[in-house]
């Protein structure tokens, strides 16, 4: 099978490309490298010991995207390409709508025009908003609290509508909680452009001395230590979930939604402690105001995907910290260093 991976040079995309290549899929990547380096794809191919084909294309460039579909007999698409930072999305919401929603509709149009109807979509736990009830199952009401989350929720609704209007479409939407960590080899990992928005790459860059200290956003949440709680999940478990999603895509028409998380909540301060243990250094931090758009607690109920596909996480918080640290230690300046 030939799989088109949008955003395949990014953090989750690169790990998923390795997983797909190692499981016998041919991989074609489309990425504009707005938040990634082409060097990530060199490492992916070395790690897998297999080649892939890559195009530097913006998803919204319909002509260039059509040429990619013309050039390859694509069977299914795994769609990662998007912007993903909650705080930034409040500053530049129209960019988030344009890239995340516009990119997705451009992709759906290209798929339809080329007779490709199988899609795995990157959704997010952030669509659940500030629910008091944790863990959250897929039936929990959506309540996006920021433009990023709204863009993901809007895409899910567009995908559901597309499936009902075009019965040929099959979509699996994976709502991941907070992916982090890296490939255990330390060859690929999280290397965002600019100052990281997400907490783990921020921590690793403090540990290698590229940043001074972590700002812990909020010490007054209604949680045991006052910092916000998330369900951190190893990126290798997320990549494994995508391979399974591709395997199961053809089983049912229409749209299916699955959470991917561990079911365990970890506070920011607990994460700082776990990462300090992994890197053997005290990570300097200061508690500052809450970040607008953040919520107190997001924890997954992933029993649906476990029941239906037998997926469950196999890597713990210590492995996430060890692996993230190994990647940063071996690549202190990322792929371009
Ligand atoms: P990432 O930024 O590392 O990867 C996204 C990739 O898409 C990057 O390589 C970027 O260059 C590319 N891209 C962005 N806009 C593009 C465009 N218009 N055309 C072509 N390529 C484009 O992010 P990630 O952490 O790997 O996230 C992948 C997906 O998973 C995103 O859709 C994100 O919203 C979703 N997600 C991420 C997380 C997380 O915490 N990392 C959690 C839930 C959902
Ligand atoms: C984690 C925790 C921050 C940076 C978002 C989406 C989610 C997923 C991951 C898409 C929060 C705190 C962070 C820092 C901090 N999707 N933090 N200092 O916002 O939970 O999740 O990204 O990408 O669907 O909602 O992830 O890594 O930004 O933050 O204290 O410098 O760390 O407030 O509690 P988030 P994150």
Q: Give the range of the structural domain holding residue 22, as residue numbers without chain letter.
A: 2-330
> Per-residue pLDDT for 61 more than 80?
yes
Percent over 90 (pLDDT), the chain: 94
Question: What does the pLDDT read at residue 44?
Answer: 98
Residue of 41, 42, 43, 81 to mutate, ligand 1, most atoms within 8 A of C-beta:
81
Question: What does the pLDDT read at residue 184?
Answer: 98
Answer yes or no: are the C-beta atoms of 108 and 81 closer than 8 Å: no
Nearest-CA residue for atom 28 of ligand 1: 80
Check if 34 has its Cβ closer than 6 Å to any atom of ligand 1: yes
Counting from 1 in the atom list of ligand 1, the atom nearest the Cα of 79 is 32
- The answer to the question of residue 337 being in a domain is no
Give the span between the Cα atoms of 99 and 97, in whole angstroms.
Answer: 6
What value does the mean pLDDT of the chain take?
96
- Residue pLDDT, tens place only, 133-187: 889 999 999 999 999 999 999 999 999 999 999 999 999 999 999 999 999 999 9
148 is catalytic: yes
Lowest pLDDT segment from 12-26, 123-137, 166-180, 193-207: 123-137
Q: What is the mean pLDDT of residues 276-280?
A: 97
SS3 323: helix
Q: What is the mean pLDDT of residues 116-137?
A: 92
Q: How far is CA 60 from the centre of its chain?
A: 20
Residue of 294, 297, 300 to mutate, ligand 2, most atoms within 8 A of C-beta:
294
Question: What does the pLDDT read at residue 80?
Answer: 98
- The answer to the question of residue 185 being in a domain is yes
Domain count, the chain: 1
- The answer to the question of residue 37 being in a domain is yes
Beta bridge partners of 29: 5, 54
Question: What does the pLDDT read at residue 59?
Answer: 98
Question: What does the pLDDT read at residue 337?
Answer: 74
Confidence category of residue 293, pLDDT binned at 50, 70, 90 = confident
CATH number of the structural domain spanning residue 209: 3.40.50.720
pTM of the full structure: 0.97
Determine which one of 128, 148, 176, 285 is catalytic.
Answer: 148
Give the span between the Cα atoms of 54 and 170, in whole angstroms.
Answer: 25
> Per-residue pLDDT for 238 more than 80?
yes
Q: What is the mean pLDDT of residues 101-118?
A: 98
Token readout for 4 is 């088109």
C-alpha to C-alpha distances, 217 to 126, 133, 141, 158, 214, nearest whole angstrom: 17, 22, 25, 33, 9
Percent over 70 (pLDDT), the chain: 100
Nearest-CA residue for atom 1 of ligand 2: 199
User: Of the candidates 85, 107, 86, which has an alpha carbon nearest to the alpha carbon of residue 10?
Assistant: 85
Question: What does the pLDDT read at residue 218?
Answer: 98
Check if 60 has its Cβ closer than 6 Å to any atom of ligand 1: yes
- The answer to the question of residue 220 being in a domain is yes
Question: What does the pLDDT read at residue 233?
Answer: 98
Confidence category of residue 1, pLDDT binned at 50, 70, 90 = very high
Answer yes or no: are the C-beta atoms of 185 and 47 closer than 8 Å: yes
Give the phi and the psi of residue 167 in degrees, each rounded to 5. Answer: -65, -10
Confidence category of residue 332, pLDDT binned at 50, 70, 90 = very high
Q: What is the mean pLDDT of residues 257-262?
A: 98
- The answer to the question of residue 336 being in a domain is no
**Peptide bond before residue 135 is cis, with ω within 30 degrees of 0:** yes
Question: What does the pLDDT read at residue 172?
Answer: 98
Q: What is the mean pLDDT of residues 31-40?
A: 96
Nearest-CA residue for atom 34 of ligand 1: 84
Residue whose pair of structure tokens reads 């579909």 in the numeric block: 69
Beta strands in the chain (DSSP E): 2-6, 26-31, 53-56, 76-79, 118-124, 170-176, 178-180, 214-217, 229-230, 232-234, 254-260, 266-267, 285-288
Question: What does the pLDDT read at residue 87?
Answer: 87
Residue 260 Cα to ligand 2 middle (Å):
16
- The answer to the question of residue 73 being in a domain is yes
Q: Give, in degrees to the nearest 5, the angle at Cα 268 between 259 and 200.
A: 75
> Per-residue pLDDT for 38 more than 80?
yes
């Amino acid at each position: 099978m030939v799989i088109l991976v949008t955003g395949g040079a990014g953090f989750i995309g690169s790990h998923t490309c390795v997983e797909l290549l190692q499981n016998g899929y041919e991989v074609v990547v489309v990425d504009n490298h707005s938040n990634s380096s082409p060097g990530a794809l060199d490492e992916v191919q070395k790690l897998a010991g297999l080649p892939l084909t890559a195009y530097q294309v913006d998803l919204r460039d319909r002509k260039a995207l059509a040429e990619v579909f013309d050039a390859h007999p694509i069977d299914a698409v795994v769609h990662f390409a998007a912007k993903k930072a909650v705080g930034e999305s409040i500053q530049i919401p129209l960019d988030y709508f344009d890239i995340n929603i516009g990119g997705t509709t451009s992709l759906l149009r290209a798929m339809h025009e080329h007779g490709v109807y199988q899609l795995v979509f990157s959704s997010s736990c952030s669509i659940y908003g500030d629910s008091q009830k944790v863990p959250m199952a897929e039936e929990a009401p959506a309540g996006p609290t920021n433009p990023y989350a709204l863009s993901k929720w809007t895409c899910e609704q567009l995908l559901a509508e597309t499936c009902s209007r075009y019965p040929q479409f099959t979509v699996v939407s994976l709502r991941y909680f907070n992916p982090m960590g890296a490939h255990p080899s330390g060859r690929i990992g999280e290397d965002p452009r600019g100052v990281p928005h997400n907490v783990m790459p921020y921590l690793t860059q403090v540990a290698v001395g590229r940043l001074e200290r972590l700002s812990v956003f909020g010490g007054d949440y209604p949680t045991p230590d006052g910092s916000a709680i998330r369900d951190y999940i190893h990126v290798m478990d997320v990549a494994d979930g995508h391979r399974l999603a591709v395997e199961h895509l053809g089983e049912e028409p229409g749209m299916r939604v699955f959470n991917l998380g561990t079911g365990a909540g970890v506070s920011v301060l607990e994460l700082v402690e776990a990462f300090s243990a992994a890197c053997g250094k005290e990570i300097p931090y200061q508690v500052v105001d809450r970040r607008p758009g953040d919520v107190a607690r997001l924890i997954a109920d992933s029993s649906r995907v476990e029941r239906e596909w037998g997926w469950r996480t196999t890597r713990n918080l210590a492995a996430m910290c060890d692996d993230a640290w190994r990647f940063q230690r071996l690549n202190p300046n990322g792929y371009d260093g």
